[in-house]
Amino acid sequence: MKPIPELLSEMTLEEKASLLSGDDVWHTKAVERLGIPRVMVSDGPHGLRKEEDVPGQPGVRETIKAVCFPTACSSTASFDRDAVRRMGEALGEECQHEGVAVNLGPAINIKRSPLCGRNFEYMTEDPFLAGEMAVSLVQGIQSRDVGTSVKHFACNSQEHRRMSSDSTVDERTLREIYLPAYEAAAKRGKAWTFMCSYNRLNGEYASQNKRLLTELLRDEWGYEGLVMSDWGAVSDRVKGVPAGLDLEMPSSHGVNDAEIVRAVREGRLSEKDVDRCAERVLRLVERFTATARPDTPWDLDAHHALAAELAADCMVLLKNEGGLLPFAPGEKVAVIGEFAEKPRFQGGGSSHINCHQVTSLMDALEGMPGVTYAQGYRIDSDEADEALAAEALAAAKAADKALLVIGLPERDESEGFDRKHLRLPANQNALVEAVSRVNPNVAVLLYNGAPVEMPWVNCIRGLVEGYLAGQAVGLANKAVLWGEVNPSGRLPESFPLRLEDTPCSLSYGGEGDRAVYSEGVFVGYRYYTAKKQPVLFPFGAGGSYTTFAYSNLRLNHTEMDDTDTLRVEVDVTNTGSRPGKEVVQLYVAPHESRVFRPVRELKGFEKLSLAPGETKTAVFTLDKRAFAYWSVETHGWFVETGVFGIEICRSAEEVILSTPVTVRGTVPAPLTVTEDTIVEDLARYPAKFALLKKAVAALKNPDGAEAEAIGDNDVLDMDRYAPLRTLIAFGERMDHQRLGELIDAMNRV
């Protein structure tokens, strides 16, 4: 390709406009006259879903055989940046081998409700965790000179009416919950592309939302990459160009290209805006073609083994009474459930991978002494099958222990629709309860992409959350359940007891096309901990076959300015007999605040691998953002002077160690004084309050007594909630003119 400025100068308006939409479903447009090739993008984010033509069958396409890695709900449970980066590196190699310029992922929408049908593809309810894992995956894929497309920007928190709904979200909630992961992917991940979502955000479709795509993403965050639409997400293409939407996908078959040209000719659209979008498309094409390596090897079997290794680190041990797990080799274990033979390991929709190999749990257990199998239920039905259930009960009675493999069928959660409830199929719930009555040693392994209710949880002794762990799921299950790998996953989302307990249970889905995020910043564990609402399992929960002890929590400051950084260290010792990994979670807990804030928020995590008896130190560095909230007055991050707890936790609800730090905010909160400003608010601003005391002294002491004769409490005790306009009631020494002069003086200090 020629240099991009030269290409732009030689292109006609029609050619530039043509670059702003796809050539077909998966390719950008070429301009053969100028030697500009087209490049391919392909669905991700946990595998390569590349479509290609079937030879000899015109118009028929199929997806290639590829590797399905753990889905986002599973990989995020690893709480392991390095593991996610390794997965990204493998995905990048696959894309290079197949000539794919951009892997369409990761999907990092916050899990607002467990009902969202696409939660299996999203990472977590926590913005800090989402940002860290997104950066790792982006950096891993892009280390192989293949782009990512961070999606779905922004607030795509439901599938219900997703192409027309309006996510109505206040400024602070956007900044603290729904935008930080995207900010991290833009600033630290430097993602090649972003993908805008289908929905409106505060009244404007994301594909034409200038506030979102230009003022925030580019001007504020400094993002220099390309923005593409989700497939079919464009409403007004002409409006989208100056808003910052560079590439419409898929092809509009020339319709919107012509609209862009017409708008420029009629003076409704600046050609400079078209040039800007075309330049970003050209940069993407140049970036990939300059580094394309179609000879990159792709060892599918090696990646299958990697998928198994990663999946094992993602499994979450939630219950293990009496050390039921791991099973011992040769122990008589009845494995029950059709999912053990036909695993559900990925979600439905655009991320569905055509796997080159699938290893079920029963495949992995083939030939293992002591293991028996019974189907127990049918995946394709919610109704109990009496013959299958009887066979399962007989197997359980004859075994030392029983493992039930249950979960959500794909009909219950997928892209395109939301769940209606949190229940598992009735036949599976009934089977767990029935088996637990004939065998006291029951463990459950779950396959699901989001939380479920567990009415049988008190009837069983062992519970492992397996999520949707990719095509090597059976190898990972065997490794953890039979003790080859020590479980180390943690829940990246809260598991509520009931749907009615969730923060947005009364408003999720919205009314018509309007979805109001009325719970504000209290999403997930932020809500449950603030309300002291019991949950089934809290965010961050997860066990191990060994034990860990924490000690020696230390800070490099006990007092600091918000411009300083805080170094936190804590020692962790493996006090058990097995090697294992421990996820060290650090939360920041504000002791007091003038705004409503969560009890604690995750601000750091590290995964340590420890041999028995070994001690390692987890180290964290916290900056201003760890202590700040978003101020709607200043439209920026603001730190209140005060005391914060530095908490080392096993989950969002279990604090192990805690120590305080005093943080001084270096920027005072702004206060524009008006006649309606109340006395208590002024008391937080010494200079302004001094002027008020002087004015009150003058009113109380007509003979001119000094203001110092009036104490703070003397003023506050008058009525701390009284607005300044009530000073006029003190008599003729205060009128509107004098009050106006006092207010002007207050606003100058």
Residue ranges and CATH numbers for the domains of the chain are 4-11+34-246+269-289 (3.20.20.300), 304-537 (3.40.50.1700), 548-664 (2.60.40.10), 679-748 (no CATH)
Least confident of 336-340, 616-620, 621-625, 672-676: 672-676
Give the tens place of pLDDT for each residue, 548-590. Answer: 999 999 999 999 999 999 999 999 999 999 999 999 999 999 9
Segment 202-225 shows an average pLDDT of 98
Tell me the CA end-to-end span of the chain in Å, nearest whole number.
Answer: 59
Residue 89 has pLDDT above 90, yes or no: yes
Task: Classify residue 740 as exposed, middle or buried by CB count within 10 Å of its CB (0-12, 13-18, 19+).
Answer: exposed
* pLDDT of 713: 67
Q: Which residues of 139-172 are buried (b: 16+ CB within 10 A; e: fewer)?
A: bbbbebbbbbbbbbbbbbbbbebbeebbbbbeeb
What is the model's pTM?
0.95
Structure tokens at 251: 């092809």
CB-CB contact of 353 with 46 (8 Å) = yes
Least confident of 195-204, 279-288, 739-748: 739-748
* pLDDT of 709: 53
Give the tens place of pLDDT for each residue, 356-373. Answer: 999 999 999 999 999 999
Angle at 231 between CA 59 and CA 100, to 5 degrees: 70
* pLDDT of 695: 84
* pLDDT of 731: 59
CB-CB contact of 104 with 195 (8 Å) = yes
Q: What is the 3-state secondary structure (H, E, C) of 500-557?
A: HHCCCCCCCCCECCEEECCCCCCCCHHHHHHHCCCEEECCCCCCCCCCEEEEEEEECC
Beta strands 601-610; 580-590: pairing state? antiparallel
The SS3 call for residue 589 is: strand
Specify the amino acid at residue 362: M
Cβ neighbours, 10 Å, residue 383: 11
* pLDDT of 711: 62
Residues whose CB falls within 8 Å of the CB of residue 738, separated by 6 or more in sequence, listed in order: none
Least confident of 69-78, 345-354, 427-436, 446-455: 345-354
Segment 203-220 shows an average pLDDT of 98
Residue 172 has pLDDT above 80, yes or no: yes
Give the tens place of pLDDT for each residue, 472-529. Answer: 999 999 999 999 999 999 999 999 999 999 999 999 999 999 999 999 999 999 999 9
**E strand or H helix at 333:** strand 333-336
**Dihedral angle computed from the Cα positions of residues 231, 235, 237 and 241, in that order, rounded to the nearest 10 degrees:** -90
**Distance between CA atoms of residues 499 and 191, nearest Å:** 35
Residue 112 has pLDDT above 80, yes or no: yes
Phi, psi of 651 (to 5 degrees): -160, 180
Mean pLDDT of the chain: 95
Percent residues over pLDDT 70 in the chain: 97
Q: Which residues pair with 647 in a beta bridge?
A: 587, 658
pLDDT band, residue 718 (cuts 50/70/90) = low
pLDDT band, residue 716 (cuts 50/70/90) = low
Structure tokens at 541: 């929960």
Q: Choose among 62, 71, 67: nearest CA to 94.
A: 67
* pLDDT of 44: 86
Segment 339-354 shows an average pLDDT of 94
Higher pLDDT, 395 or 741: 395
Segment 172-188 shows an average pLDDT of 98
* pLDDT of 525: 98
Q: Choose among 617, 621, 620, 540: nearest CA to 572.
A: 617
* pLDDT of 420: 96
Task: List the beta strands (DSSP E) in 54-210.
Answer: 61-63, 100-104, 147-153, 166-168, 193-196, 200-201, 204-205
**Distance between CA atoms of residues 19 and 450, nearest Å:** 39
**Distance between CA atoms of residues 372 and 334, nearest Å:** 5
Structure tokens at 393: 């009960």
* pLDDT of 707: 42
CB-CB contact of 297 with 437 (8 Å) = no
Q: In what order do the strands lie in the sheet with 147-153?
A: 40-43, 100-104, 147-153, 193-196, 226-229
Task: Classify residue 533 as exposed, middle or buried by CB count within 10 Å of its CB (0-12, 13-18, 19+).
Answer: middle
* pLDDT of 294: 93
* pLDDT of 717: 60
**Distance between CA atoms of residues 289 and 7, nearest Å:** 16
Segment 2-16 shows an average pLDDT of 97
Phi, psi of 447 (to 5 degrees): -115, 110
Segment 728-748 shows an average pLDDT of 84
* pLDDT of 712: 63
* pLDDT of 700: 72
Specify the amino acid at residue 377: Y
Least confident of 392-401, 648-657, 697-706: 697-706
**Distance between CA atoms of residues 620 and 604, nearest Å:** 6
Active-site residue list: 230
Residues whose CB falls within 8 Å of the CB of residue 32, separated by 6 or more in sequence, listed in order: none
* pLDDT of 730: 66
63 alpha carbon, distance to own chain's centre: 28
Residue 699 has pLDDT above 80, yes or no: no
